[in-house]
Structure 1
Amino acid sequence: MEILNARDEKLSLEYPCDWSYKLIASEVEALKQAIRDVIDEREHKLSHSKNSKGGKYVSMNLDMLVHNEDDRNFIYEALKAHQNIKMVL
């Protein structure tokens, strides 16, 4: 699988591989619930990234093993569509 980055250089991925999603939500517990809803019992690591200046949003990093491009994209889209998640990067 090849992905274009901002400089139009191709990034080659070999699956399975570790992948990191940055998630932004209003509160940590809502974010954790969204992760449970989407990935259920899959092994993952969740770590705090930062809070917005006004404290309205929190961002966290979700690191996990993805098995193929479809798996990686499915998780991204499911997180993005979840009502508790404001943004997925």
Structure 2
Amino acid sequence: MIDLNKFNKKVEIEYPCDWNYKIIGENTGKLHQAVKDSIKGKKFEVNFSNTSSKGKYFSLNVKIRVENEKQRNNIYQNLKKHRDVKMVM
């Protein structure tokens, strides 16, 4: 039998660390702007990731150095609520 309690443990992350987000949207230019709008005052890298099979959606990888969990979660929330971002992973 599998002990499901071991899956409920919080992952320990050592900060500061580099963190990667994948964002998905319909326009790469607008996705780049969404990253700039969401991550102000910090250096980051953005690289093209993929295009959906029908060419409607695009994904970008965003790499940024985060200092703590609060900052990591704030960036995630800022990206998630941006009108041009359909999904953040």
Q: What range describes the TM-score normalised by the shorter chain of this pair?
A: 0.7 to 0.9
1:26-81 C-alpha deviation (Å, 9 max, x unpaired): 01100011111111241111111100000000001000101100000000011000
Residue identity (%): 42
RMSD (Å) for aligned C-alpha atoms: 1.3
- TM-score (ref. length: structure 2): 0.87
Q: Secondary structure at the match of 2:54?
A: coil
Give the strand-richer structure, 1 or 2: 1
The corresponding residue for 2:3 is none
The unaligned stretches of length 5 or more in structure 1 are 1-6
Q: Secondary structure at the match of 1:48?
A: strand
Structure 1 runs, 4 residues or longer, greater than 3 Å off? none
Which stretch shifts more, 35-44 or 59-68?
35-44
Q: Secondary structure at the match of 2:14?
A: coil
Aligned partner letter, 1:42:
K
The corresponding residue for 1:11 is 11
Aligned residue pairs total 83
Aligned partner letter, 1:13:
I
- TM-score (ref. length: structure 1): 0.87
Give the helix-richer structure, 1 or 2: 2
The corresponding residue for 1:76 is 76
Q: Work out which of the two has the higher radius of gyration on C-alpha atoms and give 1 or 2.
A: 2
